[in-house]
Amino acid sequence: NAGVMQNPRHLVRRRGQEARLRCSPMKGHSHVYWYRQLPEEGLKFMVYLQKENIIDESGMPKERFSAEFPKEGPSILRIQQVVRGDSAAYFCASSPGLNQPQHFGDGTRLSIL
């Protein structure tokens, strides 16, 4: 089991471009969580998804950010019209069920020029 796979590991975008971050959960895990970590801070919850459903997006910024977890394929965190403040490490975690521990990926480091 390769664990939670995130790609790319590093992503550089210019202001105004779109960023797409992908997360493949561990085999057998149907719950996916996205977190954002700004420098010198802890991870902050963004969104929780199950297959084809957004369960809780209370941590997502109201504009430009969206997430999906389709029936087939990885979960995608999409940031439109990126700005400098979007520069951060974005972590994905997965779990097999609601009350099970979350397993984290290596993260995607997003840099905005």
Chain residues binding another protein by CB under 8 A are 3-4, 31, 33, 35, 40-45, 48, 55-56, 58-59, 91, 93, 95, 98-99, 101-107
Q: Which is nearer to another protein, 82 or 105 (CB)?
A: 105
Q: Which is nearer to another protein, 31 or 82 (CB)?
A: 31
Least gap, CB of 72 to another protein (angstroms): 24
Q: Which is nearer to another protein, 1 or 58 (CB)?
A: 58
Least gap, CB of 98 to another protein (angstroms): 6
Q: What is the DSSP string of the chain?
A: ----EEE-SEEEE-TT--EEEEEEPPTT--EEEEEEE-TTS-EEEEEEEETTEEEE-TTS-SSSEEEE--SSS-EEEEE-S--GGG-EEEEEEEESSTTSPPEE---EEEEE-
Q: Which is nearer to another protein, 18 or 56 (CB)?
A: 56
Least gap, CB of 59 to another protein (angstroms): 7
| Integer Rg of the chain from CA | 13
Give dist(CA 77, CA 98) in Å, integer: 21
Least gap, CB of 12 to another protein (angstroms): 21
